[in-house]
């Protein structure tokens, strides 16, 4: 039996892992939230690993409130940097392999070509900075790690852009959505499938990888596709970023090159519209 610890156990990615893990009878999961396992407390993490037999750890726990992080710097850093470091140290001490989720927000968005894993990370805000610090803490503490940077994550679970748009469409005939920030929507179920594959293969191809769905979109394109597939009557209008100011700056372009993960793990990645249709149909 392979024992897998999943932090952030109530979030959309952990719930998606539950969805894709059906049928893998050789896996036994320990899903934890902050009440069960406080990753910001080094001793708590060390004790938890000592008291539980763990083969793999998937870190889905994160401080993800991009705008709130600008004024809540200490907590964002405790979760995204210190929490990642504590898990990495415990993994090393107990011979556990770590899969850690990071973000396209480590980039400043000033590129005009796809971002590769070797490109310089220059975060624009506290969220991206603390996630980058978490990556670096893992890389400095551990060899047996997989860091998966992803983007624009959504699913049928928890709160996300897709579900927000569908909720707003119930009461609003028109919506304005930013059209000059470019990235790639990623279905959490697809990302969860990659993690399960890495564990099922017992891979030792450690390192940093980019994973999102295929294709390119603006938030406007994403919203338009949601309304089209869901067959809602809401009309969406494109606006510029400056028309919708936020406390944290967003990268204008954060499309990632996925060549490395596709070649290493011999995988095909679905286009974002294909996966979006699945998610909406599941709802």
**Annotated catalytic residue within 31, 127, 187, 209:** 127
Sign of CA dihedral 16, 250, 126, 133: positive
Two structure tokens written together for 221: 């394109």
Give catalytic status of residue 127 as yes or no. yes
Gyration radius of the chain's alpha carbons: 18
Q: Which helix (H) or strand (E) holds 49?
A: helix 42-51
Q: How far apart are CA 100 and CA 152, in angstroms?
A: 16
Q: How far apart are CA 6 and CA 96, in angstroms?
A: 13
Q: How far apart are CA 223 and CA 200, in angstroms?
A: 35
3-state helix/strand/coil string of 196-241 = HHHHHCCCCCCEEEECCCECCEEHHHHHHHHHHHHCCCCEEEEECH
Burial of 257 per CB tally in 10 Å (0-12, 13-18, 19+): middle
DSSP reduced 3-state for 39: coil
Known catalytic residues are 127
């Amino acid at each position: 039996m392979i024992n897998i610890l999943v932090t952030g156990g109530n979030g959309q990615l952990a719930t998606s892992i539950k969805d894709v893990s059906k049928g893998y009878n050789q896996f036994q999961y320990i899903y934890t939230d902050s009440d069960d396992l406080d990753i910001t407390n080094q001793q708590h993490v060390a004790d938890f690993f000592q008291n539980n037999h763990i083969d793999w750890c998937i870190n889905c726990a994160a401080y993800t409130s991009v705008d709130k992080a600008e004024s809540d710097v200490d907590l964002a850093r405790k979760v995204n940097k210190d929490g990642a470091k504590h898990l990495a140290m415990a993994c090393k001490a107990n011979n556990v392999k770590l899969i850690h989720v990071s973000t396209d927000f480590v980039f400043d968005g000033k590129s005009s070509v796809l971002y590769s894993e070797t490109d310089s990370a220059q975060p624009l805000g506290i969220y991206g900075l603390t996630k980058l610090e978490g990556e670096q803490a893992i890389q400095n503490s551990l060899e047996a790690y997989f860091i998966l940077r992803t983007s624009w994550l959504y699913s049928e679970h928890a709160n996300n852009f897709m579900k927000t748009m569908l909720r707003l469409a119930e009461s609003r005939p028109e919506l304005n959505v930013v059209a000059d920030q470019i990235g790639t929507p990623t279905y959490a179920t697809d990302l969860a499938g990659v993690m399960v594959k890495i564990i099922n293969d017992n891979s030792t191809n450690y390192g940093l990888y980019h994973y999102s769905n295929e294709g390119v979109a603006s938030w406007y394109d994403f919203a338009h596709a949601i309304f089209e597939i869901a067959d809602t009557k809401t009309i969406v209008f494109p606006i510029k970023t400056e028309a919708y100011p936020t406390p944290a700056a967003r990268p204008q372009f954060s499309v990632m090159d996925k060549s490395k993960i596709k070649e290493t793990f011999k995988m095909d990645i679905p286009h974002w519209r294909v996966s979006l249709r699945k998610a909406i149909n599941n709802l």
